[in-house]
Amino acid sequence: MNVAYPYTLEPQPEGGFLVQFVDLEEAFTEGDTEEQAAFNAAEVLTGVLAVRLEQGEVIPPPSPANGRPVALPDAPVQAALLIHFARQGHSLSELARAMGTSWPAAQRLTRPGNPTLKQLERAAAALGKRLVLSLE
């Protein structure tokens, strides 16, 4: 699964660019240049998704980009999102049992933090998935 969220980039009459995420109405920012707007987009996306994860709010999967620019949250939020989406239909208790760990330990994997690769591999295996890393 990919957690690249598309956004619109609109030039503003007074200069700069407005960024609005397609799937997250509260996620918007701006930048003086397209490059700055893209950097700010990743920052605001990370913040909005981290808050939603911490508060147990609904997180929509990203829409297809369809030629729009996309932003990725930082690595700890990406890891939590991937576990969040992969465990749909599985309770935290089921995940903890399958991993041979405690419920609080399984819950920590669904929150932004710094899980180890070993923890992520165990969680992926428990969900019938495999961990794949990529540098882009």
The domain ranges of the chain are: 5-71, 75-126
134 pLDDT above the threshold of 80: no
Q: How far is it, in rounded angstroms, from Cα 46 to Cα 21?
A: 12
Taking residues 80-94, report their average pLDDT: 87
Fold of 5-71: Double Stranded RNA Binding Domain (3.30.160)
Q: How far is it, in rounded angstroms, from Cα 120 to Cα 115?
A: 7
**Least confident span in 18-32, 44-58, 104-118:** 104-118
Show the tokens assigned to 33. Answer: 């240049």
Taking residues 18-34, report their average pLDDT: 97
CATH code for the domain defined by 75-126: 1.10.260
Taking residues 92-105, report their average pLDDT: 89
Average pLDDT over the chain, rounded to an integer: 91
Q: What is the pLDDT of residue 135?
A: 65
pTM: 0.83
